[in-house]
Amino acid sequence: MVALNYRKDHVIKNKYSRSGDPLIKVQAIVVHYTANPHANAEDHQEFFDGADGGNYRYAGAHIFVDKDEAVEVIPLNEVAYQANEKEPRLSTLKATTSYYPEGNANLLTLSIEMCIEEDGSFHPDTVERTRLVVKYLQNKFPQLRDTKNRVVRHYDVTGKICPKPFVDDVGAWKDFLNSIDQVEKKESKPAAKPQTKPSYVGKRAESIYRGKEGLDFYSKATFNDKYRAGVLHYQYGFPKIVRKLKVEGAYMFEVKNSKGHTYYITAAPKYIKVE
């Protein structure tokens, strides 16, 4: 049985992914997909966390959902840059403020990003967990309980083909909406932390950075050059990830090489692939 497995891991305030601007009110939920088959919910949290807010691009979402967990990365009373690349097609989602002129849907909605599998599809557990997240939000914000009018696709807001599996298959989208209102014997409750072991533990960390200088790795959990132990070039890696830790505002993997020696390297998904 799929559990909610909802946790909070907010990204730091920054110009690009978390402005800290308040929502005017919560008018609807906008459902998206990540379009990134190589990354789970935690990977996306890490990508948007930091001063660059995800590679200096104005984007983000409140909650990322994968087949194992749901991660809230932006507080539910703040704006996320997620559904305002065009004038909204829904008149109910037009809005403006002095601090965010013509912010429209971004000022009025909560956003859910659904992670995808390697083939671009949604894992059934991701769909079910997204349903549970919607129910969780409807319990927090009773005005969202009018599911068919208050739960919409990014496509419905601006016309963008997102979430693609639910745009390509309208029947699947309708089935998803209908499933939200199904009567349940017992409502799932958010867990403080997922009960499953992190998916990266024991896996290989491989560099996907193509720069000639390579990726530095360190003898201690720091990005200080004093403890730089070597360089990892493109497609080279460490055979075993031990754990992930936050260091100086960013994430690192503690890894072991083939001889069992311990090192530390960035865990940023734009530089490291877990396999």
pLDDT tens-place string over residues 60-102? 999 999 999 999 999 999 999 999 999 999 999 999 999 999 9
Can you give the pLDDT at residue 209? Answer: 92
CA distance 133 to 188: 9
CA distance 264 to 252: 6
CATH superfamily for 6-180 is Peptidoglycan recognition protein-like (3.40.80.10)
Closest CA to 140 of 129, 152, 132: 132
In Å, how far are 17, 81, 121, 158 from 84, measured between CA atoms? 14, 7, 25, 7
- The percent of residues in the chain predicted with pLDDT above 70, rounded, is 95
Q: Residue 199's pLDDT band (boundaries 50, 70, 90)?
A: confident
| Residue pointed to by tokens 């990726």 | 215
Tell me, what amino acid is at 1? M
Q: Residue 184's pLDDT band (boundaries 50, 70, 90)?
A: low
Give per-residue pLDDT as tens, 221-237. 999 999 999 999 999 99
Q: Is the pLDDT of residue 195 over 60?
A: no
Can you give the pLDDT at residue 189? Answer: 57
- E-only strand ranges, the chain: 6-8, 28-33, 63-65, 70-72, 109-114, 151-153, 205-207, 215-218, 228-232, 237-238, 240-247, 250-256, 262-266, 272-274
Q: Where are the domains of the chain?
A: 6-180, 205-274
- The percent of residues in the chain predicted with pLDDT above 90, rounded, is 83
Is the distance from CB of 121 to CB of 40 less than 8 angstroms?
no
Closest CA to 23 of 95, 141, 107, 143: 107
Q: Is the pLDDT of residue 198 over 80?
A: no
Q: Residue 188's pLDDT band (boundaries 50, 70, 90)?
A: low
Mean per-residue pLDDT of the chain: 92
Task: Name the architecture of domain 205-274.
Answer: Roll (2.30)
Q: Is the pLDDT of residue 186 over 80?
A: no
Q: Is the pLDDT of residue 187 over 60?
A: no
Q: Residue 196's pLDDT band (boundaries 50, 70, 90)?
A: low
Structure tokens at 90: 């829904």
